[in-house]
């Protein structure tokens, strides 16, 4: 998932809600376009373009190997393919010219893997995205089985989506101790209802939140986020497809930074707040869609 794994704000007294905007949540153009080539530099980008680099790694985070032959698609014909290790270039690397200051979704795909949609961002200059965790279908199936092994958890609906959320600590002491909800939203990018949401992750039809350990393994007994769990912090499944839903994170000592915000680890990357999910599909079926989304939320210490 974010995929159910991977690669599938906050209270004291109040909460901040992050709602996705209306409109088309998909890539501006998801055509295959022209392959920008392997993950090595090919000279400076054209005017109006900047370079985004990164590594695509399989599951688990921190221990997975680079994935060779994955396609990186940011729409409008801009694609690249990850490469094998060559000299100082790590296995699973890519380098891609992208339009400067232009929002896009990054879509990662390869046969036998769970397609990963990263939340929308734009780049203001050359940027290193770092590692994107990209599970194969076997890892996704295993995670689903672990979660579904708890009889109190609803079954995953292949027609609904999976959203993995990674909490970025920012100036917050820890990402641990937070609660996360996903529920139907409106058109607002950001909405604050002072914690009056009636919805939750309960029920058999609504989105269900599963918190992860720092080793990126589901803990079906956990009721809050755990220290060190960032890639992702939680997996939410049975999310209605599209971009009309609201994410609420409540933390005892920290607030959420509103969108847009720049990634502390890669300041040239700015997250717009637009998030979209697609139907999960069936990871056990060869050729199944099997798609998940990954989104980051930034925490900050309360003043």
pLDDT, tens digit, for every residue of 269-287? 999 999 999 998 876 665 5
Higher pLDDT, 242 or 93: 93
CA distance 133 to 113: 11
Residue 142's pLDDT is 84
The DSSP call for residue 145 is H
Confidence of residue 141 (pLDDT cuts 50, 70, 90): confident
pLDDT above 70: residue 248: yes
What does residue 209 show for φ and ψ, rounded to 5 degrees?
-95, 135
Higher pLDDT, 202 or 140: 140
Q: How far is CA 62 from the centre of its chain?
A: 16
CA distance 96 to 49: 10
- The number of helices, as runs of H, and strands, as runs of E, in the chain is 1, 19
The per-residue pLDDT for range 90-125, each reduced to its tens digit, is 999 999 999 999 999 999 999 989 999 999 999 999
Give this prediction's pTM. Answer: 0.82
Residue 35's pLDDT is 44
For 116-131, give one letter per residue: b (16+ CB within 10 A) or e. bbbbbbbbeebbebeb
Residue 143's pLDDT is 85
Q: How many angstroms separate the Cα of 57 from the Cα of each of 63, 92, 135?
A: 9, 7, 8
Structural contact between residues 48 and 72, judged by C-beta atoms closer than 8 angstroms:
no
The per-residue pLDDT for range 167-192, each reduced to its tens digit, is 999 999 999 999 999 887 754 343 33
The per-residue pLDDT for range 14-55, each reduced to its tens digit, is 334 554 443 344 444 333 334 444 444 445 778 899 999 999
């Amino acid at each position: 998932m974010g995929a159910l794994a991977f690669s599938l704000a906050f209270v004291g007294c109040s909460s901040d809600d992050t709602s996705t905007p209306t409109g088309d949540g998909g890539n501006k153009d998801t055509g295959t376009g022209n392959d920008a080539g392997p993950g090595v530099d090919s000279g400076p980008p054209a005017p109006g373009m900047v370079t985004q680099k990164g590594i695509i790694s399989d599951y688990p985070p921190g221990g997975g190997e680079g994935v060779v032959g994955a396609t990186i698609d940011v729409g409008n014909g801009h694609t690249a393919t990850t490469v094998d290790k060559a000299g100082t270039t790590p296995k699973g690397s890519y380098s891609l010219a992208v339009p400067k200051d232009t929002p896009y979704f990054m879509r990662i795909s390869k046969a036998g893997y769970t397609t990963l949609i990263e939340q929308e961002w734009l780049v203001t200059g050359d940027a290193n995205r770092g590692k994107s965790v990209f599970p194969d279908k076997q890892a996704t199936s295993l995670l689903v089985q672990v979660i579904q092994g708890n009889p109190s958890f609803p079954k995953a609906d292949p027609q609904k989506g999976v959203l993995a959320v990674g909490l970025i600590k920012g100036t917050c002491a820890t990402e641990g101790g937070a609660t996360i909800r996903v529920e139907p939203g409106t058109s607002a990018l950001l909405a604050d209802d002072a914690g009056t949401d009636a919805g939750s992750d309960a029920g058999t039809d609504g989105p269900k939140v599963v918190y992860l350990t720092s080793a990126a393994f589901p803990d079906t007994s956990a009721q809050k986020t755990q220290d060190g769990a960032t890639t992702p912090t939680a997996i939410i499944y049975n999310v209605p497809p599209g971009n009309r839903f609201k994410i609420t994170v409540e933390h005892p000592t920290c607030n959420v930074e509103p969108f847009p915000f720049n990634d502390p680890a890669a300041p040239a990357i700015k997250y717009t707040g637009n998030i979209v999910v697609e139907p999960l599909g069936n990871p056990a079926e060869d050729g199944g869609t099997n798609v998940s989304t990954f989104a980051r939320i930034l925490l900050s210490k309360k003043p």
